[in-house]
Structure 1
Amino acid sequence: MSRRVFEQVAERVARLLGPARTKDLAGLLARGRGVEHALLALPQPAFAEALRAFYAVTAQQAVPRAEAAAYLRGYVAGWNGERRLEDVRTVWSGPATPGVPVRSTAQVLVELVNGAERELLAMTYAARPYLPLTAALTAAVARGVDVHVVVETRQGAAGLLTGPEPAAAFTGVPGLRLWHWAPEARQGAGARQHAKLAVADRQTLLVGSANLTESGVRRNMEAGVLVTGGTAPERSAEHIRELQRRGVLVPLDPET
């Protein structure tokens, strides 16, 4: 009997739970625990639907629980292998120094966008048009990449941002989706969207101090890290998508 449906559901629940909780679920299965016990042991509401689906398909396809546990442990082992292959490098804006090989933020950012094939998520506090980035984003959308950019707004920054709205930096990129932190979802009047990152295809993550401005990626002295492989890129993308799903991040009309 084909186990493809079971394998798909197992992968889905494992990616949702993450390595530690997937290992916990495998332990429950190995001890013969059913879905109600799993829901109590892993009580987060976001997990409930996936856990029920996993147990239902396991039963429908007559997969022994010990075998299901082995599948899940295989995913955990795979993640552990990915961690060993994780590559982390420093990225800098501003002046270079002789004899110390570092990559510039501007170069890495454009390369990351140009390398995206399916999904590109970015977050920034301030933003100004930067032609190499605008061109890269336009090309990404044109080749079918799902591009989302989260920006702060002047209202959200409560007077700390001047000039045009940060969203205006991306109005020349048709098909790009803009988001912002909903005011009603913020905890206090001083809360601001200050994250600065970009993640491509859930495989490469650039995170640092630089805003998506020419000053940030070229002229200022800014520092960041580029993470390739491992779980950090995927977890970052999952967090952004979950914030969107929950309405913490909401679509932004740049004309308003």
Structure 2
Amino acid sequence: MTFFKLSTSLISIVYKRSLLDQCYVCDIRREGTLCSSCQKLLQRNHSHCQLCSRPTAVTVTLCGECQQTLPSFDRIIAPLRYEGLCRGLIRKAKFENQPHLLRPLVTFIIDHLIEHDIALPTAWCVVPTSQQSLSERGYCQTTLIADLLSKAPTLASMQRIVLKRRLEVSAQHTRSKAERHSLSHRLFYTEERVPEQVLLIDDVVTTGSTAEACAKALRLAGAKRVTVLALARTSE
């Protein structure tokens, strides 16, 4: 074994033991990213609209909003509710320069996909962040989520599609619900001819307006089905 390989192996062992063998929240030693106690603090999105994944009292085929207007996307997969620990981890990752806190949530999502044997499209893209957020944050959280997801064997071979913003608007979390619903598909575009089925990756789905605008843009580029995969869903 060369010195380089030995050094790399030792660094990997130290990294795993120091960062991956302890809970990201309470630092207790364990296998994986969250201990069993902290996992219980994640609010599962058990009851929801089967189309947009909006949390509901009981699972429904279509919520009131989806009954009024069917969205352009075919389904949202969001196994967690944007509450409690999940909300805290995402906010720290996005606004307190702690992107590593996305890892336990992505791990949960991968486990959910495997456990429920959810089939995904063969191509994916991320919701592009605004230039303002990118400048302030220094990274795109949806790209980080996609990079972590792509390490899973079931997602590693998927084709990447680059979705871009055509116009610059303020970050979504700074906009009112009405302003979010005014988003047009013209805000997003891709220069590629996309496959018929595409996976759109986001961090949090709030009103669903961004997912709707992205899905419209992807359909204009050739997509027949757009599945949205998000870490969490709000009840808005």
TM-score by length of 1: 0.26
Structure 1 or 2, whichever has the larger Rg, is 1
Greater per-residue helix proportion: 1
Compute the TM-score of the two structures, normalised by the length of structure 2: 0.28
